[in-house]
Amino acid sequence: MIVTNTETIAGYHIAEIKGLVQGNTVRAKHAGRDIAASFKNLVGGELKGYTELLTESRRQAVERMLAQAEQLGANAVVNVRFTTSAVTAGAAELYAYGTAVTVQLS
């Protein structure tokens, strides 16, 4: 499965548009990560616990988006985008979406 954030794929042409596909996950903060983040706020630096949480969330959202694309018979997803939103205090959604297509070599 080819995945790109551009509208086209070099060397391929879009033969068929299958439709919008999406994947999302909602994750809550972990008390242990919050305590570590509080200490980091005092001295500065990367909040590694949150970085790991977002990395895992992005991976899961993309996997779900690609599963939808496969169900539609696509072999690529173009124009992929990510967005986040707060769902409730301490929980956020990561949403991945794009257009499932069938591509062929030009």
Amino acid at 35: I
Q: Model confidence over 38-85: pLDDT tens digits?
A: 555 556 777 777 788 889 999 999 999 999 999 999 999 999 999 999
The answer to whether 94 and 54 are in contact (CB under 8 A) is: yes
Residue 85, token pair as written in the block: 């939103």
What local confidence, expressed as pLDDT, does residue 99 receive?
A: 98
What local confidence, expressed as pLDDT, does residue 23 receive?
A: 98
Cα separation, 75 vs 13, whole angstroms: 12
What local confidence, expressed as pLDDT, does residue 42 receive?
A: 58
Structural domains of the chain ordered from first start: 2-105 (3.30.110.70)
Cα separation, 22 vs 88, whole angstroms: 21
Q: Model confidence over 10-31: pLDDT tens digits?
A: 999 999 999 999 999 998 876 5
pTM: 0.85
Other beta carbons less than 10 A from residue 66's beta carbon: 20
